[in-house]
Amino acid sequence: MTSRLVSAATIFVACLAQLMIAVDVTVLYLAVPALTTQLGASGESVLWIADIYGFTMAGLLVTMGNLGDRFGRRRVLVYGAIAFAACSVLAAYAPTPELLIVARALLGVAGAAVLPATSSLLRAVFTTQQARTAAIGASAGVSAAGFAIGPIVGGLLLDSFWWGSVFLVNVPVTALILVAAKYVPESRTPEPLRLDLFSVVLSVIGVVAVVYAVKGAFYTGLWHADVLAALGLGVAALALFARRQLRLPVALIDLRLFLDRGFAASVGSNLISVFTLAAFGLIISQYFQLVRGWSSIQSGLAYIPSALAAMLAGGLLAARAVNRFGRSVSVALGLGLAVLGFAVFALIEADSPYALVMVAQVAFGAGAGLTLTVTSDTILGTVPRSRAGAAAAVSATAYELGGSLGIAVVGSVLSGIYRAQLVLPAGVPAPMAEQVHESFYEALTVAAALQDTIGAAVRNAAVTAFVDGIQVSMVFSAAVMAVLALIALRSLRGVPKVIEKDAVEEQGTAGGTPLS
């Protein structure tokens, strides 16, 4: 097996796997209306269908990353991909909302196996900084683009098929992954790793409870009893988990890694970057469909500039930026581009030309692709290859938590501004007025039901208030990213351009020769 074939196969598998997982997060956005109608799902069921995937994935990432280090990253990736395809078929043909929730939960379990394995395989196969950054750049760029590609795929499928088709797209992707994985060398840690089951339980309870609390704060408010109970349980479990890790001879997560400034700053940058990435994806999908009134396929195709920008910035520009400017400037530059994207989108009105939207998308997509590539490379580069799976799991957990926080916090800001700015015309019946204040989607439903001059006035008032909310949310997101850019510029200063920290060589454990 030639080194060129090994490198090509590894990058191909990593990119496809990352894309499959990322697309499955966002492909459901456009399917929710059809799913609600055709499956008869209640509002609560729809929330669980959307959220359970992230709950199970986030809770098991650390465990699955360690299993990959112990039993073989390629093996865990292959089994995870097969399970992902099987659960996708189950989801596509689910006859009830309850079975779809179960299928989505199992998809999260399979996704937790796939995500850390892809990144750790890149770390194991590509041993020099330049090759590793380029490989991770391609993977991270595709992953960032997946947030935009999901709605594109969803729009195209929903235009011709039923809601379940958005899940079946995973089956042919898995087939390609399995074919290419035959040429990917196996790798695992050379020393025996003992999996501490109590640590596994604590990590699952802690992460799932915290993510549940974050999402619950968005839906019911921070001071709701369930939210506070989940938050308390999560914090307590994570505190016990951290204490136990410091005492174990071989921990699930070596918390001393966070003493490395490059590792800690990169994990934080990942979390905040995905925080705004998820918020941007949610808001722009609502803008296309609800404000502009575009069809599923139109909304999906409108994401293309963002997807292309993310792939190009991650795959082609990241390695060059690191070599020329260093890591701190490269991350700050990526975050600065994202700030520009938010600032431009803050100027958007209900009837703004698409060219203005496209400028915002390109700036944001390029910034996200560049930032996530450099931070992901820094995280993996600062740990030995023998523990690449555990490090990748930390990065992926930050990714999931950041996404949950972004939707919850920015979504809450958007909803609050909408309610505060909404001014209804006279003559709207009280029950309908209450429904209009509940959400923008409900307002459009009421406006369509009225079907007269009052209905048009209600729609205009709701659109104006919602666009005001978008503008304030974008300014808020731009401010968060600007502060993060300054922090990254300072905290990553001194982290070398070239990181070659292979503390343990994995000789005899790989089915091929590591690449330079």
The string of pLDDT tens digits covering residues 161-186 is 888 888 888 899 999 999 999 988 88
Which CATH number goes with the domain that contains 366?
1.20.1250.20
Model pLDDT for residues 5-39, shown as the tens digit of each residue: 888 888 889 888 888 887 777 777 667 767 777 77
358 assigned to some structural domain:
yes
Residue 120 pLDDT > 90: no
| CA distance linking residue 138 with residue 123, whole number of Å | 13
373 within some domain:
yes
Q: pTM above the 0.85 mark?
A: no
Q: DSSP string covering 254-275, please?
A: -GGGGGSHHHHHHHHHHHHHHH
Greatest mean pLDDT among 130-144, 400-414, 415-429, 477-491: 477-491
Q: Does 114 fall in a domain? A: yes
Give the other-Cβ count within 10 Å of 226's Cβ: 12
C-beta of residue 464 within 8 angstroms of C-beta of residue 421: yes
Structure-derived torsion over alpha carbons of residues 236, 242, 193, 189, reported in degrees to the nearest 10 = 120
What is the per-residue pLDDT for 386? 65
- The size of the chain, in residues, is 516
Handedness of CA 224, 230, 234, 240 (dihedral sign): positive
Query: 449 is written with which tokens?
Result: 């039901």
> What's the pLDDT at 503?
39
Q: Residue 41 pLDDT > 80, yes or no?
A: no
Whether 228 is in a domain gets the answer no
Host domain of residue 64: 3-187+252-421+464-491
Q: pLDDT at position 507, please?
A: 36
Whether 477 maps to a domain, the answer reads: yes
With H, G, I as helix, E, B as strand and everything else as coil, classify residue 515.
strand
What is the spatial distance between Cα 44 and Cα 164, in angstroms, rounded to a whole number? Answer: 19
How far is residue 332's CA from residue 484's CA, in Å, rounded to a whole number? 8
pLDDT class of 119 with cuts at 50, 70, 90: confident
Cβ burial of 104 (10 Å; 0-12, 13-18, 19+) is buried
Tokens of 391: 């490090």
516: pLDDT strictly greater than 70:
no
CB-CB contact of 251 with 393 (8 Å): no
pLDDT band at 508 (very low <50, low <70, confident <90, very high): very low
Q: Are the C-beta atoms of 335 and 484 separated by less than 8 Å?
A: yes
What is the dihedral angle through the alpha carbons of 67, 73, 78, 82, rounded to the nearest 10 degrees?
A: 30
- Flag the least confident range among 407-411, 412-416, 469-473: 407-411
Ranges 90-99, 141-150, 268-277, most confident? 90-99
Please count the structural domains in the chain: 1
Q: Determine, yes or no, domain membership for 338.
A: yes
SS3 126: strand
Between CA 505 and CA 507 the distance in angstroms is 6
168 lies in a domain?
A: yes
pLDDT at 353: 92
Which of 42 and 440 is assigned the larger pLDDT? 440
Q: Is residue 217 part of a domain?
A: no
